Amino acid sequence: MQGSSYWSSASVSRGFVFFAAAFGTVVLALVRLDLAAVAPYRLPLAVAAVVLLVIASFWYVLAPSFSVWEARKARAAYGTHRDVLANIIAGVAIGNLLFLPILLGGLAVAEVLEAGGNPFSAPGQVVASVTDVVSNNMPLLVFLSLVGLDAALLVVVYLRLVRPGATTERELGWTAGHLLRNLAIGVLGFLAIIVVSAVIAYTLMGFGVTQTQTEQMGIRRSSQFVFYLLLLGAGILAPVAEETFFRGYVFRAYLTSLGPVWAYGLSALIFGVLHLNLPALLPVVLIGLILAFLYQRTGSLVSPIVAHGLNNALGLAAVYFSQQGA
């Protein structure tokens, strides 16, 4: 009976989180520790850990599509902490450990072919091209990372949540009702974000904390073409995927299971932490609260997507074009 209860209800998420945490620890240990006994096997062990984590993530995401029982568990898990955490881990793992390498590899192969080379007979050229992007072209790497992660978040939402019936596109907020009104509310939300961000940035400067979001993207060093790619990624792709995941799924799931206070707090905090930028944590959390309010107020993803996209686009454009005029 005990074994049966472990695999019932939402416990599949618990098992996945445990598995992911264990292999994440292994990867970190292999990267950080310089033990003589481990060093010769570090690369193959790290690759094996990454491959197993990706396989586990895909198994978790795809299982409800092949099993009625798994679909039932996916529906039962909706709104639990472990389900949210498991979906985040799956999205991050698939986006960064699978989709991003595929995008980098595809770009490298295209460059080798354009130069008249053969990627199959000269794999070193492909590796050199990937290394060059990773080492010397941060803006392009950020764009590819955005595409990989955003695609993974949408894959998780559809295959793990929508397809098994845990939620629907309409419940997520994908509705065109009151479109003009929601567009206008999104613009007002963007203006609110600008005011709040300016106040917070000015306040934090008094404590010696400066905002580094755009610096992380290396926007000042990007070419015009890569800048427009970043504008597309941060201004359109990221808002669509992130609002679907963080507001349509995380916020609404917690709103259903825990109520508004926890839904606002947890969804905004998770949104802020996953930006991986400590100086920007407070501003991003507050932006997350505003976006959640827009979503709850309208019942649509249109408003938060518009506010989110305009905020990202304005920030990138301000940094890039101020540099051009300097």
Query: What's the burial of 175, exposed, middle or buried (CB within 10 Å: 0-12/13-18/19+)?
Result: middle
Amino acid found at 68: V
The tokens 């504008």 sit on which residue? 231
Q: How far apart are CA 86 and CA 80, in angstroms?
A: 10
pLDDT of residue 35: 54
Residue environment code for 262-282, b if the CB has 16+ CB neighbours within 10 A, otherwise e: ebbbbbbebbbebbebebbee
pLDDT of residue 5: 42
Cβ 271 vs Cβ 285: under 8 Å = yes
Which segments in the chain show pLDDT lower than 50?
1-9
Q: Is the dihedral of CA 298, 299, 300, 306 positive or negative?
A: positive
Query: What's the burial of 253, exposed, middle or buried (CB within 10 Å: 0-12/13-18/19+)?
Result: buried
pLDDT of residue 269: 96
Q: How far apart are CA 172 and CA 162, in angstroms?
A: 9
Element housing 93 (H / E) = helix 81-94
33-83 confidence digits (pLDDT tens): 655 555 566 667 677 777 888 888 888 898 888 888 889 888 988 989 889
Cβ 114 vs Cβ 167: under 8 Å = no
CB atoms within 10 A of CB 36: 6
Candidates 203, 218, 199, 210; CA nearest to 279 is: 210
Cβ 227 vs Cβ 235: under 8 Å = no
The domain limits of the chain are 1-166, 169-326
Query: What's the burial of 326, exposed, middle or buried (CB within 10 Å: 0-12/13-18/19+)?
Result: exposed
Q: How distant is the alpha carbon of residue 264 from its chain centre?
A: 18
List, as one string, the DSSP characters of 156-207: HIIIIIITTTSS-HHHHT---TTHHHHHHHHHHHHHHHHHHHHHHHHHHHTT
pLDDT of residue 12: 55
pLDDT of residue 267: 97
Q: How far apart are CA 39 and CA 141, in angstroms?
A: 28
Extract the tokens encoding 117: 């080379």
What is the 8-class DSSP label of residue 236? I
Model pTM score: 0.87
pLDDT of residue 30: 61
pLDDT of residue 7: 42
pLDDT of residue 325: 54
- Secondary structure in 3-state letters for 248-268: HHHHHHHHHHCCHHHHHHHHH
Q: How far apart are CA 22 and CA 15, in angstroms?
A: 11
The tokens 């690759």 sit on which residue? 47
